[in-house]
Chains A and B, each alone.
Chain A
Amino acid sequence: MLRLSPSVPAEDELVRDVRGGSLNALGTLYQRHSPAVFGAAYRILGTRPDAEDVVQDVFVGLPRALAGYQERGRLEAWLRRVAVRTALMRLRGRARRREDAFDDLPELASPDGESALDRLALQRRLRLLPEKLRIVLVLKEIEGYSHDEIGALLGVSAGTSAVRLFRAWKHLRSGAAS
């Protein structure tokens, strides 16, 4: 089992150690950032097994990917971007296999504030959105991508991305009203 060592190591030291092949350092990064990576993947893919697969791939690929990582911003922000791209890749694979599922995360440990019911309600609202709209909403409103960037990621125009975003909000509104 993983334990955070008492003297919390600095992030850049961890990054260096992970580059150097340290499994312990990778474990510490995992403990710190896997919820963010999981969340980013889950919101795009909508199923727990898929999101966990992304978490696995991201952390298995991390030692090598960190070689190209430039310490400009926060590691977590970078990890989330990587998770989003990995999840989108997986989504395309899933589209080919024609699977689509969105499952609840009922067993989640309770984060501060929201009750389990609130959380389920939030997840259900997301689930009601068609996939195309959901992806744009998540990328724009949660992950903070611009419409240009979303367009490039999804292979659509920036205008299409903007239209999808407003449709998503319209959808959410009508869902909330009904």
Chain B
Amino acid sequence: MIHPSTSRLHGYAAGTLNNAARAGVAAHLERCADCRRAVADMREFPAALTRATDAAPSPAAWDAIAARVSAGDAVLLPVASTEAVPVTRRTPWLRIAAGVLLLLAGAAAAIRSTREAAAEASELSFSPATPVAGGDVGVVYRAGALLAGADSLVLRARLLTAAGRGMAGAPTVRLGTLRRDGSEYRGRFAFPDSAVYAVFAVENGGASRVDHNGEQWDLMAHDRAGRPLPDALLQRVDDVQSRDTRLMEQTARRMTELYPERVDGWMWLFHAQTANATRERADSVTREHRARLQAFSARLRARSARTAEEVSGVLWYADALDDSAAAHEWRDWMYRNAPLDVTSRRHRVFQVVRGRGPERLAELERMWEPSGDAVAAQVPFSGFQLAAAAGDDEALLRWGDRMVRIEPRFIAVLARMSMTRPAIRPAAMERTRLALRDLDAGGDDRRPLTATRAEHERSSDGARGLFLGLLGRALAETGSTRAALDTLSRAVAATWDPAVFRGAAQVRLQVGDTAGALPLLARVAADPSTGAGFADSARAMLGARYDRAGWAREVAAGHGEMRARVMRSAVNLPVRGEIRLQRPGGGEQTFSARSDSVTVVAFWSRWCMPSKQDLPELQQIAAELRRRGVRVITVTHDEPPAALREFLASNGLTFPVFFDPDNAARRALQNQGTPNYIVLDRTGRIRFHTYGTEDLLAQADALRDGADAPVDAAVTNADR
């Protein structure tokens, strides 16, 4: 008897054959018990096997899980799949139980606002979510409140290559257009060949609104088997380290799981763990890594042939761990066996920078080649640092110019640094003029991924004011009074900066222009960061020119000017839904956006480095704000209250802290990450949405003084 093939029997069992084929197999099955059994097996075996193997893990498994979770252990799961999956957090909508309760309480409006809020969150998904470099990626964007309505939107990305971000940071590029397709926006782009990691943002055509979701939308390049490339994982570690050290640790851990033989993964895991660990835990982390370093060293020693690259990896690990014996051993090997290798030269530069002694600049000079490779290109940046630290003005200019030749954007750094050295003033002024020219030439490609065009322009204006201020004062010193006054006027016009006003006032006073100095000093006095004692100094500086009424008038005018300038960066957005938060001790608290006072809401995270660095300042500013009658609410990631209390206490932080477990406040206030400071006026509208604490006092003041003033129509329209 001729039996049907296995594939044909399988097709019969699965019901995928056409009629004729099915009839043929059925006829055979009538006569053949063997094949009947095979078909029955194909139908039954999978389910039977599932029943036989879906079993409870051993009782100890849960204890281990609970212990790991409680210890803050985190595993980055491979949730990406070939189907389009959301890369962002999605929030659970419409909690029905809560809705019913509210309905019973007769608060139908509140339900509607919750439901509206549910539609506000945006979502960006990629297909495939595990792209290969050079591959095509489909994009679906569901717009939230921020960007809903436009016909097309722009997809931008910050791209990192395997070689890293370079000295001036990773380039931000426009990847393409997303077109509206029903309720979603769709587009495609080619994952650039050279890139291994990308972070995305979506914005409207004029870049007045940017949805970056706290830089959580990202993609890594994968291999054909769907594994993220090692370089992609490393670049992600590097990119997220400044905004989420927990994600950094998870990514590094995933690297060590996927590529345990790669020593660089372990080195980054060590850096990430020390960033997150408590002091007590840090010691045991270091011990574990030292043991691993010993194992890597032993394995390397046992090998008869080694490459410079392998040795270099272990050497960086040893340097990171401060294991001088291992570092010495492998550095010695490198310098003896591969002195000219790229990695060896990189270690040499690192050694020179880390070392001591006046001969280091001369040593770098020997390593420097004007048209060298990537390692040679690093040398000027090190030389500039060393020259600045050593106070060697001439070397500072020499290395600085070389640095700028490699990376033109560093002209700003060179200008600022050289202007602090009186001995090289003329050369420094020349560099400052170049920096101003560079600012004027800078296009949209310099705009960071997360910044709107207006935010970027404001920050350029701030830099312009600073450079013009420095230049104006230097011109005054050299006796070019007219040019100095002219330059300083431009500086004053460019930005609201008390330091610039003070400098300009000093020059006015020097040339005997007390009348011109008066409004400048009054602006300094009007700035909320200026102490009360300043009025006395101003009075002394103004001498006979001072009269109480005139001074009060000027300070009031200064206030008005400050308010007008601060309000130029204001927005006017509604709060969507309720600001519903949870007290760390348990229990919900709902804040109404409208209040008798101005409200500042600060979103922070102790796992985000810039946010963590802001905290001491936030503590001071929050105290000052409350002294001025401003309501202050701070919101952090949900975490165990005990750990949070300990963190707050050990850092002397006393501002009120809330959790946002449902992301209700995050949605309501259109928060996209940390640090983020949101200022509401008394009518409950969002008026400032900023990333730094430095303007909070001025913003709160501006709103407090003029909250009932009509909103500038131009601002509202541009913003809507």
Contact = CB atoms under 8 A, between A and B. Distances in A.
Interface of A: 2, 12-13, 15-16, 19-21, 23, 26-27, 30, 34-36, 38-39, 42-43, 48, 51-52, 55-65, 67-71, 81-82, 85-86, 89, 92-93, 96, 105, 108-109, 111-114, 118-119, 122-123, 125-126, 141-142, 148-149, 152-155, 162, 165-166, 169-170, 172-173, 176-177
Interface in B72-91: 73-79, 81-82, 85-90
B217 to A, nearest CB: 11
B105 interface: no
B662 interface: yes
Greatest chain A CB density within 10 A among B48, B79, B81, B225 is at B79
30 contacts: A16-B92, A16-B662, A26-B66, A38-B56, A39-B53, A42-B53, A56-B65, A57-B77, A58-B77, A59-B65, A60-B73, A61-B74, A62-B77, A65-B76, A67-B89, A70-B90, A86-B77, A105-B52, A111-B52, A113-B51, A118-B52, A122-B45, A142-B46, A142-B49, A149-B82, A152-B128, A152-B130, A154-B225, A155-B224, A169-B42
A48 B74 CA distance: 22
A56 B69 contact: no
B41 A173 contact: yes
Contacts of B50: 39, 43, 142
**Lowest 10 CB-CB distances: which A-B pairs, in order?**
A155-B225, A61-B75, A39-B54, A20-B661, A119-B52, A61-B77, A85-B78, A141-B46, A67-B89, A65-B77
Nearest to A87: B78
A39 B49 CA distance: 9
A61 B69 CA distance: 9
Given A30-B65, A152-B82, A155-B224, A114 B52 contact: yes
A52 B55 contact: no
B69 A26 contact: yes
A93 B260 contact: yes
B58 interface: yes
Interface string B250-263: 10000001101100
A52 B57 contact: yes
Contacts of B81: 81, 85, 149
Interface string B74-114: 11111101100111111010010100000000000000000
B82 A38 contact: no
A171 B78 CA distance: 31
A155 B61 contact: no
Given A56-B61, A68-B79, A68-B88, A21 B54 contact: no
A55 B55 CA distance: 11
A64 B76 contact: yes
Interface of B: 5-7, 9-10, 34, 37-38, 41-42, 45-46, 48-58, 61-62, 64-66, 68-70, 73-79, 81-82, 85-90, 92, 95, 97, 128, 130, 223-227, 250, 257-258, 260-261, 638-640, 659, 661-662
Nearest to B8: A166
Contacts of B49: 43, 122-123, 125-126, 142
A27 to B, nearest CB: 7
A111 B54 contact: yes
A19 B661 contact: yes
B95 to A, nearest CB: 8
Given A34-B56, A155-B224, A155-B225, 10 more contacts: A26-B66, A38-B53, A39-B50, A39-B55, A55-B65, A63-B74, A70-B85, A89-B257, A89-B258, A92-B258
A21 B639 contact: yes
Contacts of B130: 152
B79 A65 contact: yes
Given A64-B74, A68-B85, A52 B225 contact: no
Contacts of A85: 77-79, 81
B226 A64 contact: no
B87 A68 contact: yes
A56 B66 CA distance: 9
B46 A155 contact: no
Given A21-B640, A58-B77, A42 B48 contact: no
Contacts of B86: 68, 70
A142 B46 CA distance: 6
Given A20-B638, A111-B51, A122-B52, A69 B74 contact: no
A53 to B, nearest CB: 9
B491 to A, nearest CB: 46
B59 to A, nearest CB: 8
Nearest to B74: A64
Given A21-B638, A30-B65, A68-B88, A109 B55 contact: yes
B66 A23 contact: yes
Given A61-B75, A81-B81, A166-B6, A42 B55 contact: yes
A177 B34 CA distance: 9
B46 A68 contact: no
Given A56-B61, A85-B81, A27 B260 contact: no
B55 A27 contact: no
Contacts of B38: 169, 173
B53 A123 contact: yes
Contacts of A71: 90, 92
A98 B90 CA distance: 40
A76 to B, nearest CB: 10
Given A35-B55, A109-B56, A27 B46 contact: no
A80 to B, nearest CB: 10
Contacts of A34: 56-57, 61-62
Contacts of B258: 89, 92-93
Contacts of A57: 75, 77
B62 A108 contact: no
Contact of A61 (B76, B82, B128): B76
Contact of A69 (B5, B56, B66, B79): B79
Greatest chain A CB density within 10 A among B50, B76, B639, B640 is at B50
Given A63-B69, A113-B51, A176-B41, A56 B64 contact: yes
B54 to A, nearest CB: 3
Contacts of B659: 20
Contacts of B66: 23, 26-27
A141 B89 CA distance: 32
Nearest to A54: B57
B263 to A, nearest CB: 15
A1 B225 CA distance: 40
Contacts of A59: 65, 69
Contacts of A36: 54
A80 B92 CA distance: 21
A61 B75 CA distance: 4
B73 A166 contact: no
Nearest to A170: B6
B437 to A, nearest CB: 45
Contacts of A2: 62
Nearest to B662: A16
Contacts of A153: 82, 225-226
Nearest to B79: A65
Greatest chain A CB density within 10 A among B7, B78, B86, B638 is at B78
Contacts of B257: 89, 93
A178 B606 CA distance: 63
B69 A60 contact: yes
B38 to A, nearest CB: 5
B226 A82 contact: no
Given A60-B75, A68-B85, A55 B52 contact: no
